Amino acid sequence: MTDEASPANALPPPRVRLLRDGGRDLLVVEGAWTLHTLAPKNVRRPLLRRLHTGARNAPWRLSAAEFDAAGACFLLTAWSGTLPPDLEGDEEQRALLEHCRNALQGEEAPAPRVSPLEALGASVLGSGRSLLHALEVLGGFALRTLAVLSGRRRPHLGALSREITATGVRALFIVALVSLLIGIVISYLIALEARGYSAYGLLIFVLGVAILRELGPVLAALLVAGRSGSAITAEIGVMRIRGELDALRAMGLDEGGRLIDPKIVALVVALPLLTLWSDFFALAGGLLTASLTLNLPVGHLVDLIPQTVPSSDYWIGIGKAAVFGLVIGIVATTFGLEIEADSQSLGEKTTRSVVTAITTVILLDALAALAFRSIGLS
Amino acid sequence: MTTAAVPILEADGMSVRYGPQWILRDVSFRVEAGECLGLVGPSGTGKSALLRHLLALEQTAGGHLSLFGRRIDGPDDPVLHLLRRRIGILFQGGALFSALDVLENVALPPRAMHLPTDWANAMARVALSEAGLDPIVTGHKKPAELSGGMATRAALARAIVLGPELLVLDEPTQGLDPPVARAFVTALRELRHRSSSTVLLVTHDLETLRALADRIAVLGEGKLLTIGTPDEVTRYDHPVVHDYFQGWRTLA
C-alpha cells in the first residue's frame, strides 16, 4: 500500500550521522528528506532527537542529503527556524533552506486572546444588537403591513401561499402525531387518578384547559420553531452568503415585501390553524384514552367539554398562537439577516434562532398565563 | 518499463454520463510527467464533469482511469486515499474552508497526514510564500477577508503544500482582473520552473493557456476533438476548434 503513497520509497532513508573529521565533530545529514520519507512518526522521532541534541555550534554537512520543501521545513522546525552558522551544502540546498527560512521568519501575530469578561460583554452586546435588529425587522414588517392594509402596497400572495404550504401544510402530520401522543399520555395519567374519585368533570376540565389553553399553541409553536424557524434562518442566510439579497436590492426589488413578510405572515396565519389541528388531535387522543380507561362512552365525555371548559380558554390559545407565529417569524428572519459569509456562522445563527424562538415562546406563554389568569378557568 | 514512461494520468476510453444524458464519450488521453496539459472547450462541453471523473470523484460510465500508472476502479478504490496525497487541486473559486483561517486552510493537508503542528505550519507558511502571499499578513485572515486574487493564491498554496506530483488547476484565473490574473499566471510559471511538477489545467482563458500549456486537449460535441501542441491544435480544421481559438494568433 505504501508503494502508492511514496514514489520515493527507493530513496535511502533519512539519517543524521556523527563523523569525526580531523579531530572535530561533524554532523552529516544523509538520505532523502522528503515528505514521504519523513511522514512516519517512528522515522521522525530519532531524527528530531539527533537534530535537537546535535551541538548547536557543531558544523553540519548536507551535501549527501536530498530534500524537498517539506524536508527543509522539517530541518528548520527542528533547528527552531534558524540555520546553524556552520553549514556545508551545495548551492541548491542552501537556496531552498534559505527560501524556507525567510518564509518562516517574522513574528507570527499572536492569536487574539479573549478574556472571559470580554467574551461575556461581547455576548451581551451581541444579544442587544440582535434585539435591536429584531425591533428593526418588526418595525419594517409593521410599516409594510400597514401599507398593504391601507391599499398603498400590493401583497405578494403567491409567495405567501408557498410559505403557508411550507410552514403549515407540510407540518400537519408531525403536529398531529405529537399532539395525539401527548393527549393520550396526559389523559391516561389523569384518568388513572380521577377513577378513584369519579371526578370525570374535573378530568375533562383539566384536559380541556391544559390542551386548548397551553399545550395546543405551545406544542405547535415549538414544532414550527424547530421546523420552519430553522429553515427560514438558513434560507435567508444562504441567500445572504451567495449575494442573492444584494441582487434583490440592486434590482430594486424589496427583500422585505418579497422575502420576509410572506414568511412572517405565513407563520401568523398557519400557527393558529395548526393549533386548532393540534387541539383536535390532542383532545381526540385524550378523550379516547379516558373513555377506554374509565369505560365511559366517548360521546358523553365530548358532551362534557362545552359544559366544563370555558370558550375563552380556546380563544386565548388561538390568540397566543398568532403571537407565537409572529415571534418565530421575527426571530428567524433577524438571525437569518445576521449570518455572515462563512459556513460556521450559518450553523451558529440557525441554532441561536431556534433556541431564541423557543425560549421567547415559553417566556411569552408564562407572561400570558399571568396576564390572563382571571379570564376563563371558570 | 522505466518509471519515466508511466504517464501521470491516463484516461482510456472514458465516458461521462449524468442520468440518461451522455456528456462525453470515449475520451482517451495521457498527461505525461513534467508537462502541462490544458483542457479546454466551449461552456457546457463537460470540462468540469470530466475533471471530476479524472480525479475519481465519480464513477465513470465507461472506460478506465489510471493515476500514476495505477488502474483506478472507482471513487471507492482504497488506493485513492494514498494517491490523492500526490495530487494537489486548485478548485474553481478556491473552495477555501470559510471556518478556518488561511494558515489553517493551507496546513490542513499535512495536518490530515498527522504531521506535527509546527512542521505542518512551517510547510504551510512556505507554501503561502511560494504562492506569493505573506504568511504573516494573510496567515490569520479568514477567507472572507481576502480579495479574489489573494483567495486564489491561498488556494494554490493549499494545493502545493504537499509538493504534489500532479497539480490540477480548475479555472485558476476565473474572476480575476487581467493584471491580477497575469501576476497569478506568472507565479504559476515560476512555480513550475522550480518544482517541475505535472499540471492539468482546465481553463477558459486563452492567455492563461498560452502562457502555461505545453499541450492542449479540446473537448466539444461530446468527445475529445483534438489533442496536441498549441500549434497543432490551433491549426486543426474543425469549426468548434476554429471558433474557440479565434484570436489566438492575434494574442501573440
Out of B82, B123, B163, the one facing A5 most closely (by C-beta) is B82
Confidence of residue A161 (pLDDT cuts 50, 70, 90): very high
Instruction: State yes or no: pLDDT of B106 exceeds 80.
Output: yes
Instruction: State yes or no: pLDDT of A213 exceeds 80.
Output: yes
CA gap A75, A93 in Å, rounded: 12
Q: Do B130 and A69 touch (CB under 8 A)?
A: yes
Which of A49, A52, A47, A57 minimizes the C-alpha distance to A26?
A: A57
Confirm if A233 and A339 have CB atoms less than 8 A apart.
Answer: yes
B68 touches chain A (CB under 8 A): yes
Range name among A114-123, A209-218, A225-234, B185-194 with the lowest pLDDT average: B185-194
CA gap B22, A258 in Å, rounded: 39
CA gap B161, B105 in Å, rounded: 10
**Is B149 inside any structural domain?**
no
DSSP class of residue A82? -
Residue A104: its chain B contacts at CB < 8 A? Answer: 122, 125-126, 135
CA gap B139, B125 in Å, rounded: 8
Q: Do A68 and B99 touch (CB under 8 A)?
A: no
Residue of A nearest to B122 (CA): A73
DSSP class of residue A170? G
Element (H, E) at B37: strand B36-40
Instruction: State yes or no: pLDDT of A279 exceeds 90.
Output: yes
Those residues of chain A whose CB sits closer than 8 Å to some CB in chain B are 1-2, 4-5, 7, 34-35, 39, 41, 44, 68-70, 72-74, 76-77, 81, 99-100, 102-104, 106-109, 111, 340-344
pLDDT digits (tens, 9 = 90+) for A162-178: 999 999 999 999 999 99
Mean pLDDT of chain A: 86
Crossing angle of helices A216-224 and A172-197, in 10° steps, is 150
**Is B172 inside any structural domain?**
yes
Confidence of residue A263 (pLDDT cuts 50, 70, 90): very high
* pLDDT at residue A145, rounded to an integer: 92
Confirm if A240 and A337 have CB atoms less than 8 A apart.
Answer: yes
**Is B124 inside any structural domain?**
no
* pLDDT at residue B1, rounded to an integer: 42
pLDDT digits (tens, 9 = 90+) for A290-343: 989 888 888 888 888 888 888 888 999 999 999 999 999 999 999 999 988 777
Average pLDDT estimate for A275-283: 94
Q: Where are the alpha helices (DSSP H) in B177-216?
A: 178-195, 206-212
Cell of B216: 492542449
A316 vs B249, more confident? A316
Instruction: State yes or no: pLDDT of A9 exceeds 80.
Output: no
Say what the alpha-carbon torsion angle A361, A363, A369, A370 is, to the nearest 10 degrees.
-150
**Is B108 inside any structural domain?**
no
B6 touches chain A (CB under 8 A): no
CA distances from B63 to A56, A151, B5, B49, B58 (A): 58, 65, 21, 15, 13
**Is B209 inside any structural domain?**
yes
Find residues 83-122 of chain B whose CB sits inside 8 Å of chain A: 83, 85-86, 97-99, 110, 113-116, 118-119, 122
Confidence of residue A206 (pLDDT cuts 50, 70, 90): confident
Report phi then psi at A29, rounded to 5.
Answer: -95, 125
Range name among A160-169, A235-244, B93-102 with the lowest pLDDT average: B93-102
CA gap A144, A159 in Å, rounded: 15
| Domains defined along chain A, listed by start | 2-104 (3.30.750), 118-371 (no CATH)
DSSP class of residue A90? -
CA torsion through residues B197, B202, B206, B207, sign: negative
B79 to chain A, minimum CA–CA distance in Å? 7
Q: Do B162 and A35 touch (CB under 8 A)?
A: yes
Q: Which of A96-105, A177-186, B154-163 has the highest mean pLDDT?
A: A177-186
**Is B156 inside any structural domain?**
no
Q: Where are the alpha helices (DSSP H) in B131-247?
A: 135-138, 148-160, 178-195, 206-212, 230-235, 239-244
Range name among A43-57, A59-73, A262-276 with the lowest pLDDT average: A43-57
Pairing of strands B21-31, B70-72: unpaired
pLDDT digits (tens, 9 = 90+) for B16-46: 888 888 888 888 998 988 889 999 888 888 8
Confirm if B244 and B218 have CB atoms less than 8 A apart.
Answer: yes
Instruction: State yes or no: pLDDT of B166 exceeds 80.
Output: yes
Instruction: State yes or no: pLDDT of A105 exceeds 90.
Output: no
Out of B126, B136, B143, the one facing A108 most closely (by C-beta) is B136
* pLDDT at residue A2, rounded to an integer: 42
Q: Do B119 and A108 touch (CB under 8 A)?
A: no
Residue A1: its chain B contacts at CB < 8 A? Answer: 78-79, 82
Residue of A nearest to B85 (CA): A5
Domain span at residue B241 reads: 3-97+166-251
Q: DSSP readout, A177-229? A: HHHHHHHHHHHHHHHHHHHHHT-HHHHHHHHHIIIIIIIHHHHHHHHHIIIII
* pLDDT at residue B118, rounded to an integer: 86
DSSP class of residue B25? E
For cell 369505560, name the residue.
A295
Report phi then psi at B220, rounded to 5.
Answer: 175, 155
* pLDDT at residue A111, rounded to an integer: 66
CA gap B131, B109 in Å, rounded: 16
**Is B210 inside any structural domain?**
yes
**Is residue B191 helix, strand or coil?**
helix
Instruction: State yes or no: pLDDT of B2 exceeds 50.
Output: no
CA gap B17, B49 in Å, rounded: 9
Domain CATH number, residue B92: 3.40.50.300
**Is B120 inside any structural domain?**
no
Distance of CA A119 to the CA centre of its chain: 19
Which of A337, A362, A354 minimizes the C-alpha distance to A227?
A: A354
pLDDT digits (tens, 9 = 90+) for B53-96: 888 888 888 888 888 888 888 888 888 888 888 888 888 888 88
For cell 542552501, name the residue.
A94
* pLDDT at residue A335, rounded to an integer: 94
A226 vs B94, more confident? A226
Instruction: State yes or no: pLDDT of A225 exceeds 60.
Output: yes
Confidence of residue A5 (pLDDT cuts 50, 70, 90): very low
**Is residue B163 helix, strand or coil?**
coil
- Count structural domains, chain B: 1
Which of B109, B148, B155 minimizes the C-alpha distance to B131?
A: B155
